[in-house]
Amino acid sequence: MYTFLLVLYVIVAIIMTIVILLQSGAGGMGSIGGGSGSSSTGSVFGGGGAGSFLNKLTAYLAIAFIGLSIILVKSTSKEKSSLAAKYANKGSKSAITQTIKNPEKKKDAKKAEKKAEKKAETKKEEKSDKK
């Protein structure tokens, strides 16, 4: 799902860039296609020109781009929190919480972390001995 959203995000970004570049400027340099661009856009997008169509398309693409950005950030944070929970169950949770609560007691936190690692090693040895 994440890969699909990321590919869609890139596609929306590319299309939005193209649509923005197709719009005529406010004056001065003209459009990319050459000159004022009024004659070519009138024949492609109808008599009214491409102004309103491209403006609306840009707005919709911008909304999609921002929405996908938020969705991707939320899904990434969920993955990180699940990884943190996974590694917290391995025994280093007490050392982390001690360091956060009392930053002066880093030595105690390191000792607690070593104890937790030793417990995890002994559990692994016990499991291997049972087999």
Selection from 27-31, 80-84, 115-119 with the highest mean pLDDT: 115-119
Reported for 113-117, long-range contacts at CB under 8 A and 24+ positions apart, including other chains, are 116/90, 116/91, 116/92, 117/91, 117/92
Residue 95 has pLDDT above 70, yes or no: no
Whether the full predicted model's pTM is greater than 0.75, yes or no, is no
pLDDT confidence band for 21 (50 / 70 / 90): very high
